[in-house]
Amino acid sequence: MATETGRALDTSAARTEILRRIRAANGGTSDAARAAEQWAAIERDYRRTATRSREEILELLEDRLRDYDANVVRAPEADVPAAVARMLRERGRRKLLIPPGLKAAWLPEGFEFAEDHGGSPAELDRFEGVITGSTVAIALTGSVILQNVAGEGRRAVSLVPDYHLCLVRVEDVVETVPEALDRIKGSATLPTTFFAGPSATADIEMTRIKGVHGPRFLDIILIS
Amino acid sequence: MSSADSVLDPKTSPTFPIAAKTSLRDTQLRKNVRHATEVIQNKRARVVGEMPDWQQLRESGKQIREHAMAHLDYHLEEFERNCTRAGGKVHWARDGEEAKRIVTELVKQHASPENPEVIKIKSMTTEEIHLNIALEAAGIKAYETDLAELIIQLGHDQPSHIVVPALHKNRQQIREIFQREMNLPELGDKPQDLADAARRFLREKFLRVNTAVSGANFLIAETGGVCIVESEGNGRMCLTLPDTLITVAGIDKILPRYQDLEVMLQLLPRSATGERMNPYNSIWTGVHEGDGPRNFHVVLMDNARTSVLADDEGRQTLNCIRCAACQNACPVYRQTGGHAYGSVYAGPIGAILTPQLQQLHHAQTLPYASSLCGACYEVCPVKINIPEVLIHLRNKVVKQKGPLNPEALAMKTVGAIFKSERRFRAAQRLGRVAETPLVGKDGWIGWLPGMLGGWTQVRDLREMPKETFRDWWEKRGKRGN
């Protein structure tokens, strides 16, 4: 059985053949230098920088997120715990999951916060919600980007619980998609999730329905 | 629906004109398809309209994809090297059979031996090779987790659209399927009720099944990363919770560099679902300790893509990023729906991709399933000139039939007639006499005999005028009276 398995999964002959077919089709072999030179020649005349003022960018982000049915509030750093407490009370959530490294100063008294220690999906499912920070937010598309770093955690943490409260610092908000990718290119190989609103589907008669498998409820606090 | 119980396999499907006739009689199907394509088109037009740099993005998108294909060997090796370094395992498959064998073997290695199961993310590539049938034959249960794919799977149906595979079903039809297959006799038909039912049905599977199978939107050569865009979160569940993840990707899915995502992640969601960004994008690279699957496999599949690459005019087909904007815009697709194309790739892109993936051994009628109006080209986010490829493929289909095929012979004859005035006039006289028994009272011909019948199969023909322009011109004399 073991040798049979080994044989079935040795795909080096297929690899050789596919690369041979590609080179025959392309009339030769490519290499790093040629690929790099021609990649650099690709025209990129689309917008790659912001055109709005900082305040306009923040307003655009809020507008886009609300368009996706997320709750958005702004709070200065010192008022974050109060804003978190208000949102959790409104949502009726008490028992929350937090990723390691989430800033303790952001968390209010009177709630139960449990740090993720790599529990099973079923364990994650028992929490009423999760609070995370974020890496970048894109105003033009209303997207927030999470990576596996302190305060944002592994991907399952912001996925399994039904409610996600996400904290976004205003200095992490950019206007365009290229600016956002530019910011995370140094950590490109970390597990990365973009979300734009709560989970949704339009598979039934193209009607947008909120909340399928990801968190059905999303709140955002913009920290200024 | 005729194709409901059969697999969409271009090798065995009826020709497009025959299958389209069946679809055109299904008024419910046409209503559902018309509604859905109209909604998506309007949403797309709105969010594309708000991008002042849309044409520049399209041009860059085109150039990035062309570049990726021109250096495909280098980029695939780069991807393999970087993905392997990050803990992923890369396998290569010359065709669908090899890909299915590899996936089946991997599932057997990793899934629980007494009850092998996998959860799946919607993947047209696995639909292309009918992976689920192979898994089932090997005793492996595959659960589709995308809502539309779940509707298709539970309804024993076939996908009819690349992005919204169940768009041919309305809410009442979906309710019937769920009532029957999930044993929920009381289920309502509000979209929210139906989505909630799917959530409950799949939640337990997400938390329990330890192996997942996905496709890929983009393979990033520079980092060895994979990107998947989705809406529901079922993708994130499959990518994150199981111990083992097997990604099946066509070799055409490669992007040279991470930075190229800045173009594709703008073009794809606006074109596909009319959203500024998908609700979720996931990007991961190999295996990350303590986050997601411990075993990650990528199957890089050719399945005739290299033969498309070898065709100078056809190769732009490989630039496709599967947004389906061309399907929504196509006046033919909007009438027939997807099943008539006899392939999981329907609409204009299907009409050029499917025959090429079949190396023109099958699906030869698909290049004709178009009025060449050009709407597909206009909406394509990477500027694939679909009408140009359609004409190129029509030419190949005719040539393939050899010099003695009816169309080539007819064209040759017409050429000979047009070359001589005498022959041209004689042909006109002959035509007027010959058509007489076929012309209806209204002056239209609805049926032509024999080989000519191909023309009247889908359209009526006006009777020839009683007098030709030349006759009239000669009769009117020198002074014009």
Q: Where are the domains of chain A?
A: 2-40, 54-223
Residue-wise pLDDT for B40-50, tens only, equals: 999 999 999 99
Is B388 contained in some domain? no
Is A51 at the interface with chain B, CB within 8 A? no
Q: Is B13 within the bounds of a domain?
A: yes
Opening angle at CA B382, ends B70 and B350, nearest 5: 90
Residues B124 and B268 in one domain: yes
Q: Strand, helix or coil at B280?
A: strand
Chain B residues with beta carbon closer than 8 angstroms to that of A211: 195, 199
For residue A186, which of B258, B214, B390 has the smallest C-alpha distance? B258
Domain that holds residue B40: 2-305
Structural domain ending residue among the three candidates B305, B325, B345: B305
**Is pLDDT above 80 for A3?**
no
What was the ipTM of the complex prediction? 0.96
Distances (CA, A) of B442 to A150, B248, B461: 78, 57, 11
In a domain, B385, yes or no: no
Q: Give residues 10 to 39 of A whose Cβ lies within 8 Å of B.
A: 11-12, 14-15, 17-19, 21-26, 29-32, 34-35, 38-39
Residue that finishes a domain, picked among B277, B305, B333: B305
- pLDDT for res B443: 86
CATH number for the domain harbouring residue B276: 3.40.50.10420
> Which segments of B50-146 does DSSP mark as H helices, in order?
54-70, 72-85, 96-110, 124-128, 131-137
Residues B158, B5: Cα–Cα separation, whole Å: 8
Confidence category of residue A4, pLDDT binned at 50, 70, 90: very low
Tell whether B390 is covered by a domain: no
The two tokens of residue A10 are 């040795």
Q: What is the pLDDT of residues B133-164, one digit of tens each?
A: 999 999 999 999 999 999 999 999 999 999 99
Confidence of residue B451 (pLDDT cuts 50, 70, 90): confident
Is the residue at B29 inside a domain? Answer: yes
Average of pLDDT values for B90-94? 98
Residues B284 and B430 in one domain: no
Q: Please judge whether A212 and B234 are an interchain contact, meaning their C-beta atoms are less than 8 angstroms apart.
A: yes
Q: CB within 8 A of A149, min separation 6: which ones?
A: A101, A135, A187, A190
Q: Which residue of B has its CA nearest to A140?
A: B276
In degrees and rounded to multiples of 5, residue A161 shows phi and psi of -60, 150
Residue B345 belongs to some domain of the structure: no
> A109: how many CB neighbours lie within 10 A of its CB?
6
Q: Do B13 and B122 lie in a common domain?
A: yes
| Domain shared by B272 and B410, yes or no | no
Nearest CA in chain B to A152: B291
Domain boundary among the residues B305, B324, B344 is at B305
Task: Please state, rounded to an integer, the average pLDDT across all residues of chain B.
Answer: 93
The CATH classification of domain A54-223, taken from the options 3.40.50.10420, 3.40.250.10, 3.40.718.10, 3.40.50.11440: 3.40.50.10420
Question: Which residues from chain A sit within 8 angstroms of residue B283, using beta carbons?
Answer: 188, 191-193
Sequence-ordered list of residues with C-beta below 8 angstroms from that of A154, at least 6 positions apart, any chain: A99, A116, A118, A148, A191, B240, B290, B291, B292
- Total domain count, chain B: 2
Q: Is B77 on the interface with A (CB under 8 A)?
A: yes
* Closest in A8, A188, A205 to B171, CB measured: A205
- Put simply, whether A78 touches B (Cβ < 8 Å) is no
